[in-house]
Chain A
Amino acid sequence: MAAPCVSCGAPLSYRLFLGGRVSFARRHGVWKAAAAELQIGAGSQILRLRHTTGVTTKKNVAALRRETYTVDFIKKQIEEFNIGKRHLANMMGEDPETFTQEDIDRAIAYLFPSGLFEKQARPIMKHPEQIFPKQRAVQWGEDGRPFHFLFYTGKQSYYSLMHETYGKLLDVEKRQNQLQAKGLFSENTKTKDLIGSRWLIKEELEDMLVEKLSDQDYAQFIRLLERLLTVQRDAEEEFVQQFRRSVTIQSKKQLIEPLQYDEQGMAFSTSEGKRKSARAKAVVYEHGSGRIKVNGIDYLLYFPVMQDREQLMFPFHFLDRLGKHDVTCTVAGGGPSSQAGAIRLAMAKALCSFVTEEEVEWMRQAGLLTTDPRVRERKKPGQEGARRKFTWKKR
């Protein structure tokens, strides 16, 4: 099939610029169709179009690639989604007009409870735009002529973006030069709030452009943007902001328990902690002599192992408050080590209320305020344990 295609290369390009006339319906792609045409019309007139009328190449091109969704299909899905949303709202007894996505999620979780661990495997009902991957609409018109002038680069949106950015850079530089020439150049010390935001990552840029990029392309683009910002800090704010995402600062999320006061006027604070399957509640009193009672038993008797007691010591030792607080705690579940870990977390959280913000930050960085996410891994079939395989026998 290849040889005839090559031979008809020149006449084909000639064909591209001819008007539309009916041919036969294609089942195959461009080149294959041309070859078939040649075979049929061998020797006959070459001036025959490869396009059909009503049935446009959109459909054929769509059939070539796997799982492309047509615009109509997506539209139909959106309609169905909206109708379904209204039905769901009616089912849940809520107002269909003000039924948000969170309400939908809640309703689905209620109607289809799933015990699957993988969150993405559970039933979801979202807008089709979030479910179906973004498709590129066909890039060329009826005459086969691509819409975009950079189509033949292969990565049209990327190169057009680069072109646009470079244009903006040149504009900004020109303006700067003009200002300098006029002598009105003012040191612009208005630094943009770049802290707390980051550039897009490659995957996000790919999503935005609906195009595959290489690492070098991405790096080049970011470098261009940085260059733009070095020339003038607040250049093209809205344009640049499109490519920045905010970064949340973790530590501000720490809750500080309020202090409570009991009958004698002694301040105390309660909180909970957990580790593996142990759950603990600790009550830390402000003034004391370092006594700790676990489930009514002294901690020396409850934890005969030194390691567990060292775990209990850690929060106090870290804050240098070894003999200053009294603690009463209750714990259930798990084994001795996990109970010790749970109590440690509960005590650390309770101590937050007696301590300055800075020290809370230090504790967080030391890992005292984080729940240990490690749980026992499930045993898999075909293996002896979670990781251990059966003994391998050669024969």
Chain B
Amino acid sequence: MDPGRILHTGSRAPQSVAAHLDDQAADDGPRAVSRTSEKDPVKTFGEACLMVRKPALELLHYLKNTDFAHPAVRYVLYGEKGTGKTLSLCHVIHFCAKQDWLILHVPDAHLWVKNCRGLLPSAYDRTRLDQPAEASAWLKNFKTTNERFLSQIKVQGQYVWNKRESTERGRPLGEVVEQGLTRAKSATDAVGVVLKELKGQSRAGGFRLLVAVDGVNALWGRTTLRREDKSLVAAEELALVHNLRKMVRNDWHGGAIALTLSQTGSLFKPRKAYLPQELLGKEGFDALDPFVPILVSNYSPKEFESCVQYYLESSWLQHEKAHTEDGKKQLLFLSDANPGQLERLCAHL
């Protein structure tokens, strides 16, 4: 796959649909990719396409050459707003899915630190807070993503959910997930259990684990959540965040961790911040250190050409001037080769 060529995938082919390039019907384009290896009906195009670009290729190259005996390496995709970090991540996820890895994908960590309703004090640990809604949503996604593995992996500890329910050792992981889905109150704890089990078992080598988190700077930032007594909640006090932080630490091996920074959903961060230092803060940077940073930048001229070509072929651009050289130059100027801006611009044409 040389950069600049578009990877076409047929629709409805199992496990081959990668990501939505423009699903204008669905509001949250990137977030719909939570079910990556699952086919998603693409309403606008009838197919899903992803542009192969350098950062993704670089990451794939690293992944291909990982040594699974060493602790998991952290790769951080960073860049300006709208340059394609999330989609590069999706590309990587797709690749790993094809290679039969177990994908632990958090579509947007920012969703866990803002606009949550129904915070409950955790049953497991009094000091922390549960988020039943977000946890169940994530469990649903996880289930559809990794159905194959759920029956394969066996739980190695005994977990008591409440007086009536508990899970013994040796039960498949699917049961834990089911438990979390049926009982909303224990969803967060189920998530925690899943993470712990996966981390422990990836060492054994039965499968390879890819932890992909989008918007990882949310884990170390501020939240906008408040308790009933109107006191602010710090990020550590959320059980989900706490568990995910443990996951992202590189004290396990047998897989890789791919992370993306995002300013778009971030709280209390200036618009122009895009460097890891700025977005993660000191705490986050220290926690993630050492990592491999990968810069995602705007389109190169060739990439821009191929993107515009794709839009023209699928008749997305209806303006008569879009075919001309002049029109392309105008698009280039106005979007400054920024993929996000180009998409928004072409949506109008």
Please list 10 pairs of residues, one from A and one from B, whose beta carbons are closer than 8 Å in the complex, sorted by A's number: A290-B333, A298-B336, A299-B336, A300-B336, A300-B338, A309-B333, A316-B333, A317-B333, A322-B333, A323-B332
Most buried by A among B332, B333, B338: B333
Tell me the minimal C-beta distance from B237 to chain A in angstroms: 34
Q: List chain B residues, Cβ under 8 A from A317.
A: 330, 333
Known: A297-B272, A300-B341, A306-B345. A322 touches B329 (CB 8 A): yes
- Minimal Cβ-Cβ distance residue in B for A302: B272
* Interface size grouping (class) on chain B: 10 to 19
- Minimal Cβ-Cβ distance residue in B for A316: B333
| Complex contact B345–A313 (CB within 8 A) | no
| Complex contact B330–A301 (CB within 8 A) | no
- Minimal Cβ-Cβ distance residue in B for A320: B326
Q: List chain B residues, Cβ under 8 A from A298.
A: 336
For window 255-305 of chain A, which residues contact chain B by CB distance below 8 Å? 290, 297-301, 304
1/0 per residue, CB under 8 A from A, across B306-333: the answer is 0000000000000000000010011011
Q: List chain B residues, Cβ under 8 A from A304.
A: 271
- Asked if A310 is an interface residue, CB under 8 A from chain B, the answer is yes
Q: List chain A residues, Cβ under 8 A from B341.
A: 300
Since A309-B333, A313-B333 are in contact, a sample of 7 more A-B pairs with Cβ atoms closer than 8 Å, ordered by chain A residue number, is A290-B333, A299-B336, A300-B335, A300-B338, A301-B271, A317-B333, A323-B329
| Complex contact A313–B336 (CB within 8 A) | no
Q: Which 3 A-B pairs have the closest CB atoms?
A: A300-B336, A322-B329, A313-B333
| Complex contact B332–A313 (CB within 8 A) | no
For window 292-350 of chain A, which residues contact chain B by CB distance below 8 Å? 297-301, 304, 306, 309-310, 313, 316-317, 320, 322-323
| Complex contact A309–B272 (CB within 8 A) | no
1/0 per residue, CB under 8 A from B, across A357-386: the answer is 000000000000000000000000000000
- Minimal Cβ-Cβ distance residue in B for A290: B333
1/0 per residue, CB under 8 A from B, across A38-79: the answer is 000000000000000000000000000000000000000000
Pick from B80, B334, B338: contact of A310, CB below 8 A. B334
| Complex contact B330–A313 (CB within 8 A) | yes
| Complex contact B272–A313 (CB within 8 A) | no
Q: List chain B residues, Cβ under 8 A from A310.
A: 334
Q: List chain A residues, Cβ under 8 A from B272.
A: 297, 301
Most buried by B among A290, A300, A310: A300
Q: List chain B residues, Cβ under 8 A from A300.
A: 335-336, 338, 341
Tell me the minimal C-beta distance from A395 to chain B in angstroms: 48
- Minimal Cβ-Cβ distance residue in A for B298: A300
For window 271-308 of chain B, which residues contact chain A by CB distance below 8 Å? 271-272
Q: How far is the CA of A322 from the CA of B272 in the complex (A)?
A: 26
- Minimal Cβ-Cβ distance residue in A for B328: A322
Q: How far is the CA of A290 from the CA of B326 in the complex (A)?
A: 14
Tell me the minimal C-beta distance from B339 to chain A in angstroms: 12
- Minimal Cβ-Cβ distance residue in A for B337: A300
Q: How far is the CA of A306 from the CA of B271 in the complex (A)?
A: 17
| Complex contact B334–A313 (CB within 8 A) | yes
Tell me the minimal C-beta distance from B38 to chain A in angstroms: 35
Pick from A301, A309, A323: contact of B334, CB below 8 A. A309
- Minimal Cβ-Cβ distance residue in A for B344: A306
Pick from B80, B271, B332: contact of A290, CB below 8 A. B332
Tell me the minimal C-beta distance from A380 to chain B in angstroms: 38
Tell me the minimal C-beta distance from B147 to chain A in angstroms: 42
Tell me the minimal C-beta distance from B241 to chain A in angstroms: 30
Q: How far is the CA of A304 from the CA of B330 in the complex (A)?
A: 16
Q: How far is the CA of A373 from the CA of B335 in the complex (A)?
A: 30
Tell me the minimal C-beta distance from A146 to chain B in angstroms: 75
Q: How far is the CA of A297 from the CA of B80 in the complex (A)?
A: 12
Pick from B80, B329, B332, B334: contact of A306, CB below 8 A. B334
Tell me the minimal C-beta distance from A312 to chain B in angstroms: 8
| Complex contact B80–A301 (CB within 8 A) | yes
Q: List chain A residues, Cβ under 8 A from B335.
A: 300
- Minimal Cβ-Cβ distance residue in B for A297: B272
Q: List chain A residues, Cβ under 8 A from B80.
A: 301
Tell me the minimal C-beta distance from A243 to chain B in angstroms: 51
| Complex contact A323–B333 (CB within 8 A) | yes
Q: List chain B residues, Cβ under 8 A from A299.
A: 336
Q: How far is the CA of A379 from the CA of B345 in the complex (A)?
A: 39
Most buried by A among B271, B334, B335: B334
1/0 per residue, CB under 8 A from A, across B78-92: the answer is 001000000000000
Q: How far is the CA of A313 from the CA of B332 in the complex (A)?
A: 11
- Minimal Cβ-Cβ distance residue in A for B81: A301
Tell me the minimal C-beta distance from B217 to chain A in angstroms: 19
Q: List chain A residues, Cβ under 8 A from B271.
A: 301, 304
1/0 per residue, CB under 8 A from A, across B134-162: the answer is 00000000000000000000000000000
